[in-house]
Amino acid sequence: MATNDFLVFGGGAGANVITQVTYSGLAARTAGFSSGVAQSAQLNKVWRQSSIMAAVLAQFISDRTGQDAIDDGTTVTLLANLKKSTPGRLLRICVYQRIGGVQMVSVDGAAPTATGATTHTRLSNATRIIGRCQGAGSAGGGAGGAASGNVSMGAPGMSGAYGVASWDAAAFGASQVITVGAAGVPVSNNVGGNGGSSSVGSLMTAPGGNGGVVFNNVPPPSLNGNGGLSSAATGANLYSWRGAGGSPSLGLASTGGVGGQGGASAFGPGPAVSFNANGADAVNPGSGGSGVAINQAGGVAIGGKGGDGIVIIEEYE
């Protein structure tokens, strides 16, 4: 059993100390003792209060770490062992994202910067790292012109996969390259672009979603959805979620319909649009862009852009 040098003073039965009620009302407790004759019972109470807490804290350190709490006049070892006795403290949160097409990082809520935005260097005292990867959302499909009485539809974009992983310091290593997946880009009257993968080195990868397809010049009522799921995240040893398409684009009649809502990511849903309108771009990380639905008056439409991915790294002591 580890040794604890910090012992309680005046803690015995019948000790010469004033009562707690007297101590609470003692003027010297707030103002400090003034010059004159010292009253031992008052001083003993002060020393007992501080020594009890010192003894309890030192015993906590010894019990949790198995190390001695030695009264050698220094604080370095005691402080180091105190930190070891309370593992799990959150040290830092780094959020990697794309802003204006540039990969950036925000540390503990500070303003995003491009400095250090592509490589995460682990803190030296971090013992546990939690990573969260959201793949980028894909773009919704575009649509071409429709003949009178017909409709054309582009399916909505699919959200990217999402994964959560935990690593100890050795498994994570000193640093890892961070990649934030770029959003799928829409193409007029064509299949929407796929979303890019987000990753933490080779430890975990969350693929992006698949672009929405085109379904042109068909009689209503008809629909066009983005079926299936994205590829699964790899290396996600805590949780893995596959991205999906949203609600299908609908051509209910030659005079009405709706562009399907983009697939929802772990960070929120994708958008939808009204009839005869270009697609709406995703605003939530990893969600899909909207699809489109048009008739002969809608011309050629472009689907909505997907949402860029995001990578979050949490470090714990």
At 190 the pLDDT is: 96
Q: Are 157 and 212 in contact (CB under 8 A)?
A: yes
Which is it for the CA torsion 13, 16, 22, 24, positive or negative?
Answer: negative
At 300 the pLDDT is: 94
Phi first, then psi: give them for residue 205, nearest 5 degrees: -135, 135
For residue 64, the surrounding DSSP H or E stretch is helix 40-65
| Regions in the chain scoring below 70 on pLDDT | none
Report cis status (omega within 30 of 0) of the bond before 221.
Answer: yes
> Tell me: the pLDDT tens digits for 151-167?
999 999 999 999 999 99
> Tell me: the pLDDT tens digits for 209-261?
999 999 999 999 999 999 889 999 999 999 999 999 999 999 999 999 999 99
- Biggest CA-to-CA distance, the chain: 106
User: What span, in angstroms and rounded, lies between the C-alpha atoms of 270 and 248?
Assistant: 12
Phi first, then psi: give them for residue 3, nearest 5 degrees: -90, 140
The 8-class DSSP code of residue 237 comes to S
Q: Where are the beta strands (DSSP E) in the chain?
A: 90-99, 102-107, 119-121, 128-134, 151-154, 162-168, 175-179, 198-200, 204-206, 214-218, 222-224, 239-241, 249-253, 256-259, 273-274, 292-294, 310-316
Interacting residues of 36 by C-beta distance below 8 A, sequence separation 6+: none
At 274 the pLDDT is: 95
Q: Are 307 and 285 in contact (CB under 8 A)?
A: yes
Sheet strand arrangement including 214-218: 214-218, 151-154, 292-294
At 37 the pLDDT is: 83
Question: How many other β-carbons are positioned within 10 Å of the β-carbon of residue 148?
Answer: 8
| Closest by Cα among 94, 86, 96 to 125 | 86
At 158 the pLDDT is: 98
- Residue ranges of domains in the chain: 20-85, 90-316
